[in-house]
A and B are shown apart, each in its own frame.
Chain A
Amino acid sequence: MSYRTFTLRKIASVAPRYLPFADVATEEVPLSRLLRLSLFQITVGMALVLLVGTLNRVMIVELAVPATLVAGMLAMPLLFAPFRTLIGFRSDNHRSALGWRRVPYIWKGTMYQFGGFAVMPFALLVLSGYGEAVDAPRWVGLGSAALAFLLVGAGLHMVQTVGLALATDLVKPKDHPKVVGLMYVMLLFGMVISALIYGALLTHYTPGRLIQVIQGSAVVTVALNLFAMWKQESRNRDRAQEMASAPQVQFADAWRDLVARPGTMRLLAVIGCGTFGFGMADVLLEPYGGQALGFSVAQTTQLTAIFAGGTLAGFGIASRMLSRGGSAVRLASVGAATGIPGFAAIIMSSVLGGPALFVAGVLATGLGAGLFGHGTLTATIRSAPPDQAGLSIGAWGAVQATCAGIGVALAGITRDILVATPQFSGLPPHAPYNFVFMTEIAFLALAILVAVPLTVRLTRAKAVHPVGTPQTNPVEAP
């Protein structure tokens, strides 16, 4: 029996070291609480998958809504993305008798997201002219569907911005990279799980099933978010009194102060270029694999899994590097630099390399996207003015969500135009895709170029105040 207890104890002591992101836990904030908080990212991922993946297909295939109208509806959440900055700012300077800053906004965001999901199936059915709705005026379906998508978008942007700000508040600065990693992993996890569940539930489509699935998402959203924010932010009368006596700050002033900080605009530009570059790939990898390389449907689905696996590895590496004190901007540049050969390999694979080169390219691109995403968010949090994490994270989210959305939309449109234009019709099927991938390489290169002054400035600062760089000596922790 002693052998058994010995083994058990051994396993118990080893597990936390190899369990990904289990080292986030600190004395003040146990892992269980951080994991619980990160559930809000699962609802965000769920909403994203439902909007971009599932409903995109259901509206076009089952509901026979025109593709341009679908694209317009799916762009509605993007309209709210710039307001993430404002939401983050408002939560930084919130006045509450209970001493809360973040929880009220997470709750409001949850309500909007719930409301949007609750109305959405009926709005879609009216939009597609189901039942007696054929006779309904056109604007009823259009307006209500637009409102539903806008509500879901507003809700998910609010929840994500303020939730990340709350997570930043909860842990000490040196643990921020690990928390960022955990939040990204949960977002990815939520997207993968919900894509599988939606796929299984909507295999046999009926209008009743659509209503069940979307309203079920609404209920799950409220349940998970309530569970996530329960008792996370303590009620604090001292802080409530500070809030009541604090001077009113205008958003314009706070924004001017943030932009005036050296490097802020440059960092936002890096985030924009890089996210745009990586974002354009998302929608095109699967059809590219199918058309240019002759992959089957099952094989192209595996491509997404490979991409996600690379991203996950990127988050893991970034968390390790950055929690040892590495430069976040430099890591983001490394991520963008990893993406360039990745895309180059994808382009080459259609000419000479074949599937093996393509898969390697997809993996490298995923890895780069993970490193870049983690690096830029950590850089944003680190450079945030004290007690203004919400504003900085809001600015990050606004740029990131807008550029990713535009990237996805533009990639689709560019491909459609290139395919439809007659003078290109003599070209092989991979030509239009390769044009888009070239553009991505250009944007990633631009992101690295814009980031150069930031990394140089960091190196100079490091000469005065040395911090271990991840590339040269990864073993030595400062």
Chain B
Amino acid sequence: MSDDPDKVWPTGLNLKEAEEVHSYLIDGTRVFGGIALLAHILVAFSTPWLG
């Protein structure tokens, strides 16, 4: 696959593969962000830290 024009430097993945790996990263960040937000709201309900 060394002649693949879509190959991305420096990982050796081609464009589609790189995009898929990236999509896992983005999805993971969204889920983590949502979870963290929800957890903070719940903590604020039981022990409010702003007034």
Q: Bound state CA distance, A245 and B47, in angstroms?
A: 54
Say yes or no: is A119 at the interface (Cβ < 8 Å to chain B).
yes
A130, B47: Cα distance in complex, Å: 9
Chain A min CB distance to B7 (Å) = 12
- Quick check: is B20 within 8 A (CB to CB) of the other chain? yes
Q: Which chain B residues lie closer than 8 Å to A114 at the CB level?
A: 35
Per-residue contact bits, chain A 87-100, to B (CB 8 Å; 1 contact, 0 not): 00000000011100
Whether a CB of chain B sits under 8 angstroms from the CB of A433 is no
The reply to whether A122 and B20 contact each other, CB–CB distance below 8 Å, is no
| Interface bits B21-51 vs A (CB < 8 Å: 1, else 0) | 1001001100110111011001101111000
Q: Return chain A residues, CB-CB under 8 Å to B19.
A: 97
Q: Which of A104, A122, A131, A240 touches B39 (beta carbons < 8 Å)?
A: A122
How far, in angstroms, from A118 to B38 measured CA to CA in the complex? 10
Report if A449 contacts B (CB, 8 A).
no
Asked if A118 contacts B39 (CB within 8 A), the reply is yes
A202 to chain B, nearest CB (A): 19
**Interface contact A119-B24, CB-CB below 8 Å:** no
Residues of chain A lying within 8 A (CB to CB) of residue B31: 111-112, 115
A459 in contact (CB, < 8 A): no
**A107 near B16: Cβ-Cβ < 8 Å:** no
Q: Majority SS of interface residues in chain B? A: helix
A33 at the interface (CB under 8 A from B): no
Contact of A136 with B by CB under 8 A: yes
Are A144 and B46 in contact (CB-based, < 8 A)?
Answer: no
Contact between chains at B20 and A123 (CB < 8 Å): no
Q: Tell yes or no: A126 within 8 A of B by CB.
A: yes
A147→B24 CA distance, assembly (Å)? 23
* B20→A125 contact, CB < 8 A: no
Chain B residues, Cβ within 8 Å of A125: 42, 46
Q: How far is the CA of A131 from the CA of B44 in the complex (A)?
A: 10
B27 to chain A, nearest CB (A): 8
A133 interface contact, C-beta 8 A: yes
Interface extent on B, as a size class? Answer: 20 to 34
Asked if B45 and A97 make an inter-chain contact with CB atoms under 8 angstroms apart, the answer reads no
**Interface flag for A237 (CB, 8 Å):** yes
Q: How large is the interface on A (under 10, 10 to 19, 20 to 34, 35 or more residues)?
A: 20 to 34
B contact residues around A111 at 8 Å (CB): 27-28, 31-32
In whole angstroms, what is the CA distance A436 to B20 when docked? 52
Q: Would A119 and B46 count as touching, CB distance under 8 A?
A: no
Contact B42 A122 (CB under 8 A): yes
A126 touches B24 (CB 8 A): no
Minimum CB–CB distance from A118 to chain B (whole Å) comes to 5
A197 within 8 A of B: no
Least CB distance from A176 to B in Å reads: 30
Q: Are A130 and B24 in contact (CB under 8 A)?
A: no
Give the nearest-CB partner of B42 in chain A. Answer: A122
Is the beta-carbon distance between A126 and B17 smaller than 8 angstroms? no
Q: Chain A residues near B20 (CB, 8 Å)?
A: 96-98
A220 within 8 A of partner (CB):
no
B36 closest partner in A (C-beta): A118
Residues of chain A lying within 8 A (CB to CB) of residue B43: 122
Beta-carbon nearest neighbor of A237 in chain B: B1
> Which residues on the A side are within 8 Å of B48 (C-beta)?
132
Minimum C-beta distance from A226 to chain B (A): 12
Known contacts A97-B17, A97-B19, A98-B21: A119-B39 contact under CB 8 Å? yes
Q: How far is the CB of B19 from chain A (nearest CB, A)?
A: 7
**A140 on the B face (CB < 8 A):** yes
Residues of B close to A107: CB separation below 8 A: 24
**Which residue in A98, A104, A132, A240 is a CB contact (below 8 Å) of B45?**
A132
Known: A115-B35, A237-B1. A133 touches B46 (CB 8 A): yes
- Nearest residue (CB) in B for A144 is B42
Closest to A111 in B: B31
How many Å lie between the Cα of A125 and that of B45 in the bound state? 10
- A133 to B27: give the CA distance in the assembly, Å: 31
B residues contacting A by CB (< 8 A) are: 1, 14, 16-17, 19-21, 24, 27-28, 31-32, 34-36, 38-39, 42-43, 45-48
Could you list which residues of chain A lie within 8 angstroms of chain B, going by C-beta atoms? 96-98, 104, 107-108, 111-112, 114-115, 118-119, 122-123, 125-126, 130-133, 136, 140, 144, 147, 235, 237, 240
Q: List 10 A-B contacts (CB under 8 A).
A: A97-B20, A107-B24, A111-B28, A118-B35, A119-B38, A126-B42, A133-B45, A136-B46, A140-B45, A235-B17
Q: A122-B46, A132-B47, A133-B46 are in contact. List 20 more A-B contacts (CB 8 A).
A: A96-B20, A97-B17, A98-B17, A98-B21, A115-B35, A118-B39, A119-B35, A119-B38, A122-B43, A125-B42, A125-B46, A130-B46, A131-B46, A131-B47, A132-B45, A133-B45, A136-B45, A140-B45, A144-B42, A240-B17
